[in-house]
Amino acid sequence: MKTILTIIAVIFIGTVAMAQDTSKEVKVDTVAAGVELNIDIQKQTKGETEVARLYKFKNSRVKKELSFKTKKDRAKLA
């Protein structure tokens, strides 16, 4: 009996709370702003070309720097 009354009370309070119209829509004034796009296209002449290098050795400095581990990467025991 107590559970039935509790369920009815919860449903009643929920419907009353949903039925209240406390939030009214507020109209917002919009402001239009003009946008100018100034795009200058410049042709680039041939300059110096950079070369990316791949290091084959395991102990190379670049690979060491890129394969760092943090404390959060380690597995945790449950």
pLDDT beyond 80 at 71: no
CA nearest to 55, candidates 66, 42, 41: 66
- Range in 32-36, 38-42, 56-60 the model is least confident about: 56-60
Radius of gyration of the chain (CA): 33
Band of residue 51 on the pLDDT scale cut at 50, 70, 90: confident
The model carries a pTM of 0.28
- pLDDT for 10: 95
Residue ranges covered by each domain of the chain: 1-67
- Higher model confidence: residue 64 or residue 7? 7
| pLDDT score for 27 | 83
CB 50 within 8 A of CB 42: no
**Residue-averaged pLDDT of the chain:** 79
